[in-house]
Structure 1
Amino acid sequence: MKAFVFPGQGAQFVGMGKDLYDNVPAAKELFEKANEILGFSITDIMFAGTDEQLKQTKVTQPAIFLHSVILAKSLGAEFAPEMVAGHSLGEFSALVAAGALGFEDGLTLVSKRAMAMQKACEQNPSTMAAIIGLPDNVVEEICASIPGVVVPANYNCPGQLVISGSNEAVDAACAKLTEAGAKRALKLNVGGAFHSPLMEPARVELEAAIQAAPFTKPVCPVYQNVDAKPHTDPAEIKANLIAQLTAPVRWTQIAQNMIADGAASFTELGPGTVLQGLIKKVNREAQATSKQSL
């Protein structure tokens, strides 16, 4: 079976999507429509901005969504997914690409999500850190032993787990995890504690918008971050999307489940090659490639 996967925040780069804009008239139309919907020229920042401009959450999330979704739409018959998944923000790209949500509604939700997350980050100064070289259960136990908020946020692949929480609790966890034998405990350059209880204000803000959006049954199962299981029921998809903001991304389990369910090839659509690499770390035999342009 053919699986398509969609990257999340951190994969962005200046120049992303420009060749689609320049060479595919239908893609150019969608990019221009996005500028109208967002109320600013995101294409200017995507194609010729600075890394600093592109790194703002309110820009990054719609930019990655646009590159991924417009690329999927530009592929025509080549985009024939039998299963899809996306990492964090990428779940919205996966849902739109698989027809569960329209382009405009998807972009509007992604923009609202980015704004709500940025606001939550400003309310609670917080951070994330990548923990390399420890089993998941050890990281879970140490996080649970630390006072304050620090939780597993991204199960990326075996031996790579990102934790998320308040600055003090993440620092304390990093120190303890290093003592426990982590090869690295690396603070990430992010706006705040994504996929942790500190995102609760953003979850509340986004819930009404997701509930009101017109979701339909996707053309294939969408493996969602919250439970790593395939979903096609719009009500379940909505509930999982809402829960996603404060719950961990179970990418390791998503890749394992897709392979177990028959994924013979994975194609990552959008900026970067992060997911292709993670899938190969989950299963060395996996056929995984990435595509950033036609």
Structure 2
Amino acid sequence: MNAYIFPGQGAQFPGMGLDLYEKSPIAQELFEIANNILGFNITDIMFEGSAEDLKQTKVTQPAIFLHSVILAKVLGDSFKPDMVAGHSLGEFSALVAAGAISFEDGVKLVSKRAIAMQKACEMQPSTMAAVLGLEDAIVEKICAETEGIVVAANYNCPGQLVISGDIDAINRACETLKAEGAKRALVLPVGGAFHSPLMEPAREELAAAIEATNFVKPNCPIYQNVTASAVMDEAIIKANLISQLTAPVKWTQSVQQMIADGATLFTEVGPGKVLQGLVKKINREAQTASATIESES
């Protein structure tokens, strides 16, 4: 069975999406629609901007979303997922690609999500840290015992867990984790504590937008970050999407469940190959690929 997976924040690179724009009239049309919805020419920043330009949250999230979704649309009939999943932001790409929400609504939601997250980051200084080489249960225990707000945020693959919280608590937790035997406990260059209780103001803001958006049954099951299980019901998809900003990304568990449910090939749709690397670390036997397009005549 074919599983299509969609990357999240951090996969951006200068020049992203330009090949799609140059090769496909469908891509050109969709990029222009996105420019109009966003109220600025994101294509200029994607195609010609620097890595620094792409780092702005209001740009990063829509840019990765557009690269992924437009690539899926350009694939046309060859895009036949039996199941989909996306890492954090990538869940929105997966939902549009699987037909649960329209392209236009996806652009609007991702833009609102980015701005709401940026606002939440500015309300309280916070950060995230990558922890390597410890079992999840040990990391969870240390987070629970650390003073302040610090939680497990991204279960990326066995031995790689990202924690999220206020700056002092993250620093304290990192010291304890190193003492406990972590290979690394490294504070990440991110704007705030994503997938933690500190994102509650953003969750509330995004919840209203998600509730007001029309969702339909997707063309195939989506394995959502919050539950790591196959979902087809629109109401459950909405509820999980709202919970996602303050809940951990269960990527390891999602991939394991997709394999248990019959996934044999994981195709990454969008910039980079981060998710393929994680899939291989979760299960060495899993086949992975990158989605690519041919020029349209």
TM-score by length of structure 2 reads: 0.98
Listed one character per residue, the Cα deviations across residues 255-294 of structure 1 (whole Å, up to 9, x for unaligned) are 0000000001000000010000000000000001123654
Partner of 2:273: 273
Residues in 1 aligned to 2:47 and 2:196: alpha-carbon distance in whole angstroms? 32
Q: Following superposition of structure 1 onto structure 2, how do residues 36-47 of structure 1 map, counting pairs within 5 Å?
A: 36-47=36-47
User: Residue 291 and residue 68 in structure 1: after superposition, are their counterparts in 2 closer, same or farther (change >3 A)?
Assistant: same
Listed one character per residue, the Cα deviations across residues 8-67 of structure 1 (whole Å, up to 9, x for unaligned) are 000000111101101100100100110000000100100110111101111000000000
Partner of 2:231: 231
User: Quick check: 2:270–2:291 contact (8 Å CA) kept in 1?
Assistant: yes
Q: Following superposition of structure 1 onto structure 2, how do residues 71-82 of structure 1 map, counting pairs within 5 Å?
A: 71-82=71-82
1:65 equivalenced with 2:53 (yes/no): no
User: Residue 186 and residue 249 in structure 1: after superposition, are their counterparts in 2 closer, same or farther (change >3 A)?
Assistant: same
Residues in 2 aligned to 1:221 and 1:127: alpha-carbon distance in whole angstroms? 32
User: Quick check: 1:12–1:272 contact (8 Å CA) kept in 2?
Assistant: yes
Partner of 1:23: 23
Identity %: 71
Partner of 2:103: 103
Partner of 1:170: 170
User: Quick check: 1:17–1:292 contact (8 Å CA) kept in 2?
Assistant: no
Q: Following superposition of structure 1 onto structure 2, how do residues 151-162 of structure 1 map, counting pairs within 5 Å?
A: 151-162=151-162
Q: Following superposition of structure 1 onto structure 2, how do residues 136-155 of structure 1 map, counting pairs within 5 Å?
A: 136-155=136-155
Q: Which amino acid aligns with 2:274?
A: V
> 1:77: Cα distance to partner?
1.3
Total equivalences in the alignment:
294
User: Quick check: 1:270–1:292 contact (8 Å CA) kept in 2?
Assistant: no
SS at match of 2:130: strand
Residues in 2 aligned to 1:38 and 1:4: alpha-carbon distance in whole angstroms? 26
User: Quick check: 1:19–1:293 contact (8 Å CA) kept in 2?
Assistant: no
Of 127-136 and 48-57, the range deviating more from structure 2: 48-57
Listed one character per residue, the Cα deviations across residues 153-200 of structure 1 (whole Å, up to 9, x for unaligned) are 000000000000000000000000000000011111111000000000
Residues in 2 aligned to 1:54 and 1:230: alpha-carbon distance in whole angstroms? 32
User: Quick check: 1:6–1:268 contact (8 Å CA) kept in 2?
Assistant: yes
Partner of 1:128: 128
Stretches of structure 2 lacking an aligned partner (at least 5 in a row): none
SS at match of 1:75: helix
> 1:245: Cα distance to partner?
0.3
Partner of 2:33: 33
SS at match of 2:175: helix
TM-score by length of structure 1 reads: 0.99
Partner of 1:181: 181
Q: Which amino acid aligns with 1:198?
A: L
SS at match of 1:185: strand
Residues in 2 aligned to 1:48 and 1:132: alpha-carbon distance in whole angstroms? 35
Report the aligned-residue RMSD.
Answer: 0.7
Partner of 2:212: 212
Residues in 2 aligned to 1:154 and 1:289: alpha-carbon distance in whole angstroms? 22
User: Quick check: 2:69–2:96 contact (8 Å CA) kept in 1?
Assistant: yes
